[in-house]
């Protein structure tokens, strides 16, 4: 059976998922070499290519095709409604939908879209007639895609797809889910909230700090350097994840998430956000999960509704699984 690999390069770890039509066969999250990615940007494509190659070999990963997730910072993703038109017309029109973000060098970008559905007429007697397209559209610098392709080529991998993370998650959300929900990625450098209505992407909210912000606090409290603090944090050494100063960060985070929930409600008064699914490595910090559950007005869940079963490995590599399923 054909195997597909999905790759996601985080700021802390390289996530890889190998899937077949039947499901996920293997997931790997491997800590990146120091300094390879800074603030979500790849510093050395060459070094990362070698790391990808080495990791695939070490973990004995075999696959036929490969896809990569492009991080939020490198892609503009948005949900748009447009009048009914042909694929050809859409191609011409898409750049205009991004005129707020891309003001110069329109031609330097790739534009792509996925049709989420159609919107019917509100005119009496014409209620079953579609008049608008409901789209998820994305724009990405051509040079970014070229850099990624080159990097994977150097790693001995031919890249077949590069998709935004929002699209990767859409691939995973079961077709029968029609409630609104939030996927909360608790990452190393940031926490990202992805709002969906069923499988339809709505919006993204980024909180610009992640679990690495605990390191200075732990370093201070336990009199070690931030590098050692990072290893303490991951292992919850001497219960350092439960330090008061850490809890303060969890509490700030929870308040920011609550604000985003209210903001979503304000913008979508007819839609009730039902719950939040936690993913990313930070989802394993129980003290953080507890603060989120206590603070938020909606339930906090794992990802089992999305991916069938929830495990630490899957939660960390969810984006990679979505890329493999493209």
CB of 95 to ligand ATP, least distance (A): 29
Element (H, E) at 35: none
Which residue of 187, 292, 302, 314 would you call a contact of ligand ATP, by CB under 6 A?
187
When asked if residue 210 is in the footprint of Mg ion (CB under 5 A), the reply is no
Q: Which of residues 224-243 bind ligand ATP (CB under 6 A)?
A: 234
**Rounded distance between C-alpha atoms, residue 157 and residue 151, angstroms:** 9
**Rounded distance between C-alpha atoms, residue 186 and residue 288, angstroms:** 10
When asked if residue 10 is in the footprint of Mg ion (CB under 5 A), the reply is yes
When asked if residue 322 is in the footprint of ligand ATP (CB under 6 A), the reply is no
Classify the phi-psi angles of 39: left when phi > 0, otherwise alpha if psi is within -120 to 50, otherwise beta.
left
The Cβ of residue 297 has, within 10 Å, a number of other Cβ atoms equal to 9
When asked if residue 11 is in the footprint of ligand ATP (CB under 6 A), the reply is yes
Q: With CB under 6 A as the rule, give the number of residues binding ligand ATP.
A: 21
274 binds, among Mg ion, ligand ATP, none (CB under 5 to 8 A by kind): none
When asked if residue 189 is in the footprint of ligand ATP (CB under 6 A), the reply is yes
- Toward Mg ion, which CB reaches closer, 12 or 181? 12
- The stretches of the chain forming alpha helices (DSSP H) are 45-58, 87-97, 142-154, 165-172, 214-222, 226-235, 244-267, 286-295, 304-307, 312-316, 318-324
When asked if residue 29 is in the footprint of ligand ATP (CB under 6 A), the reply is yes
CB distance 169 to 155 below 8 Å: no
When asked if residue 187 is in the footprint of Mg ion (CB under 5 A), the reply is yes
Q: In the structure encoding, which two tokens stand for residue 34, read together? A: 């120091």
Burial class (CB in 10 A: 0-12, 13-18, 19+), 290: middle
Which residue of 28, 36, 61, 190 would you call a contact of ligand ATP, by CB under 6 A?
190
- Toward ligand ATP, which CB reaches closer, 6 or 10? 10
For Mg ion, the binding residues (CB under 5 A) are 10, 187
For ligand ATP, the binding residues (CB under 6 A) are 10-13, 29, 185, 187-190, 210-212, 234, 280-282, 284-285, 312, 316
């Amino acid at each position: 059976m054909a195997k597909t690999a999905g790759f996601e390069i985080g700021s802390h770890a390289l996530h890889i998922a190998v899937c077949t039509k039947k499901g996920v066969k293997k997931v790997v999250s491997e800590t990146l070499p120091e300094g390879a990615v800074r603030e979500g940007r790849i510093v050395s494509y060459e070094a990362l290519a070698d790391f990808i190659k080495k990791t695939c070999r070490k973990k004995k990963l075999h696959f036929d095709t490969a896809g990569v997730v492009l991080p939020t910072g490198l892609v503009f993703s948005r949900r748009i409604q447009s009048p009914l038109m042909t694929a050809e017309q859409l191609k011409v029109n898409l750049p205009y939908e991004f005129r707020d973000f891309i003001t110069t060098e329109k031609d330097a970008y790739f534009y792509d879209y996925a049709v989420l559905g159609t919107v019917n007429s509100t005119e009496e007697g014409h209620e079953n007639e579609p008049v608008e397209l409901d789209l998820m559209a994305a724009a990405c610098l051509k040079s970014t895609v070229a850099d990624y392709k080159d990097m994977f080529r150097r790693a001995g991998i031919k890249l077949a797809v590069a998709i935004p993370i929002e699209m990767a998650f859409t691939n995973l959300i079961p077709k029968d889910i029609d409630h609104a929900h939030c996927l909360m990625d608790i990452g190393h450098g940031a926490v990202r909230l992805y709002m969906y209505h069923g499988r339809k992407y709505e919006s993204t909210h980024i909180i610009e700090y992640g679990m690495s912000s605990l390191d200075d606090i732990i370093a201070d409290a336990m009199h070690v350097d931030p590098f050692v603090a990072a290893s303490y944090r991951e292992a919850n050494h001497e219960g350092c994840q439960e330090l008061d100063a850490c809890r303060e960060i969890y509490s700030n985070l929870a308040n920011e998430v609550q604000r985003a929930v209210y903001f979503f409600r304000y913008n979508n008064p007819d839609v009730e956000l039902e719950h939040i699914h936690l993913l990313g490595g930070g989802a394993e910090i129980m003290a953080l999960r507890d603060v989120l559950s206590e603070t938020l007005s909606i339930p906090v869940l794992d990802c089992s509704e999305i991916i069938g079963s929830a495990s630490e490995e899957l939660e960390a590599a969810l984006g990679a699984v979505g890329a493999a399923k493209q």
